[in-house]
């Protein structure tokens, strides 16, 4: 199988699990056998470094190419050299703020990388695509929409980053390739090899404050209609997220439709102040200041992950305690 963008945060966890299915919280059953499980990774290191590849090389065998997916001819050559049955696509830029500042960079990278891959999948008759989508496709959701199920209405997100996730799902629906889009809620937990240059998500910012790299955390608002006034999100441990990919790969075999989406969240929302509280409970000091709301933030977002439980046999095993515990591994 081919994994694109797999030197990054989530992809590297999935590769690690594919190479070591017993890591994490117990063995995971995989239908993948030796004949079909050759692993090929393509990454251009736009948001990662060779470090994660070196780390993964110690865990098992795979072939790695440093290449951008925007270079169709080069990627075509890689497809010629291998027989893929499935592509896992993690190769997207993910900073919301940066996408607002540089929309074309996001549209070009996140959409063209996908279109090139889809064209090559059609050309070489590669049947299955597992795509990293996001809860951002639910757009600006209201409290009355919660919990979000896959049947909740998908709305055009406000930011270019969010729009690319929305468009990708639509593009995949129109193509004759079996696609599973995994809608991640808020992935957190340890990073095998950190790489991202743009750290604006809550957990990485808290960790920078704890490490003394940042003065304090700015808490964006405490006047939301939530339990303590700070916004609520569905954080999900990276291990749980990684395992869902393996189960989704298994699911391709019996999949009857051409397009499926799954919410990946714990189903439980935590407020920003609760997250800070858990870090403090575990012995860390998190200096913070409450400031105005961040534009575009919803009061609360959390999933109903019942479909993934029912059809993939997946459920998030870890909660906030483990997410915080494993942040500094
Ligand atoms: C953000 C993106 C979302 C993307 C997701 C990827 C926005 C509006 N949304 O979601 O499109 O899919 O990341 O993980 O950017 N917070 C603070 N101070 C900080 C950072 C965050 O108070 O310095 C709060 C936010 O207000 C929010 C919560 O922490 O309530 C989580 O924020 P974040 O990690 O940025 O994720 P989302 O906003 O949910």
- The span from the CA of 289 to the CA of 214, in Å, is 12
Q: Indicate the burial class of 81 (C-beta count within 10 angstroms; 0-12, 13-18, 19 or more).
A: exposed
Q: Poorest-confidence range of 93-102, 187-196, 245-254, 289-298?
A: 187-196
> Which of 195, 189, 179, 214 has its CA nearest to residue 286?
214
User: 100 CA distance to ligand 1 centroid (A)?
Assistant: 14
Of the pLDDT bands very low, low, confident and very high (cuts 50, 70, 90), residue 30 is low
Q: Is 133 in the pocket of ligand 1 (CB under 6 A)?
A: no
> Which of 87, 10, 88 has its CA nearest to residue 48?
10
pTM, 2 dp: 0.94
Q: What is the pLDDT of residue 35?
A: 38
Residue carrying the six token digits 């997250």? 275
Q: What is the mean pLDDT of the chain?
A: 92
Which residues contact residue 76 at a Cβ distance below 8 angstroms, ignoring those fewer than 6 apart? 120, 123
**Strand positions, DSSP E, 199-287:** 217-220, 232-233, 235-237, 259-264, 270-271
Question: Residue 301: beta bridge partners?
Answer: 233
- Contact 267/303 with Cβ under 8 angstroms? yes
**Strand positions, DSSP E, the chain:** 2-4, 40-43, 63-66, 86-89, 128-134, 178-184, 186-188, 217-220, 232-233, 235-237, 259-264, 270-271, 288-291, 300-301
Q: Is 205 in the pocket of ligand 1 (CB under 6 A)?
A: yes
- Contact 53/15 with Cβ under 8 angstroms? no
User: 121 CA distance to ligand 1 centroid (A)?
Assistant: 33
Q: Pick the catalytic residue from 161, 224, 270, 318.
A: 161
Mean pLDDT for the stretch of residues 237-248: 94
Nearest CA to ligand 1 atom 19: 202
Q: Is 297 in the pocket of ligand 1 (CB under 6 A)?
A: yes
Tens digit of each residue's pLDDT (9 = 90 or more) over 214-225? 999 999 999 999
Asked whether the predicted pLDDT for residue 32 surpasses 60, the reply is no
Tens digit of each residue's pLDDT (9 = 90 or more) over 119-146? 999 999 999 999 999 999 998 888 999 9
According to DSSP, residue 54 is labeled: H
Coil vs helix vs strand at 91: coil
């Amino acid at each position: 199988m081919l994994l694109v963008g797999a030197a990054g945060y989530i992809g590297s966890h999935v590769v690690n699990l594919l190479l070591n299915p017993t890591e994490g919280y117990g063995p995971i059953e995989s239908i993948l056998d030796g004949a079909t499980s050759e692993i090929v990774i393509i990454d251009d290191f736009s948001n990662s470094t060779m470090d994660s590849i070196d780390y993964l090389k110690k865990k098992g065998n795979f072939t790695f190419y440093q290449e951008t997916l925007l270079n169709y001819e080069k990627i075509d050559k890689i497809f010629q050299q291998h027989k893929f049955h499935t592509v896992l696509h993690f190769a997207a830029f993910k900073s919301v703020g940066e996408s607002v500042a540089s929309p074309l960079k996001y549209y070009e990278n996140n959409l063209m990388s996908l279109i090139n891959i889809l064209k090559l999948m059609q050309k070489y008759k590669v049947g299955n695509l597992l795509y990293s989508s996001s809860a951002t496709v639910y757009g600006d959701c209201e409290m009355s929409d919660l919990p979000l199920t896959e049947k909740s209405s998908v709305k055009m997100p406000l930011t270019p980053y969010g729009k690319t996730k929305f468009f990708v799902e639509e593009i995949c629906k129109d193509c004759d390739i079996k696609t599973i889009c995994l809608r991640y809620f808020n992935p957190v937990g340890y990073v095998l090899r950190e790489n991202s240059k743009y750290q604006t998500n809550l957990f990485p910012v808290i960790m920078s404050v704890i490490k003394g790299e940042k003065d304090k955390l700015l808490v964006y608002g405490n006047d939301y209609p939530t339990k303590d006034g700070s916004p609520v999100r569905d954080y999900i441990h990276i291990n749980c997220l990684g395992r869902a990919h393996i189960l989704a790969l298994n699911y391709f075999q019996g999949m009857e439709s051409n397009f499926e989406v799954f919410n990946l969240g714990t189903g439980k929302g935590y407020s920003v102040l609760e997250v800070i509280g858990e870090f403090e409970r575990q012995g860390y000091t998190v200096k913070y200041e409450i400031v105005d709301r961040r534009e575009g933030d919803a009061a609360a977002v959390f999933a109903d992950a019942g479909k993934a439980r029912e059809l993939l046999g997946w459920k998030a095993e870890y909660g906030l305690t483990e997410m915080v515990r494993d942040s500094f591994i």
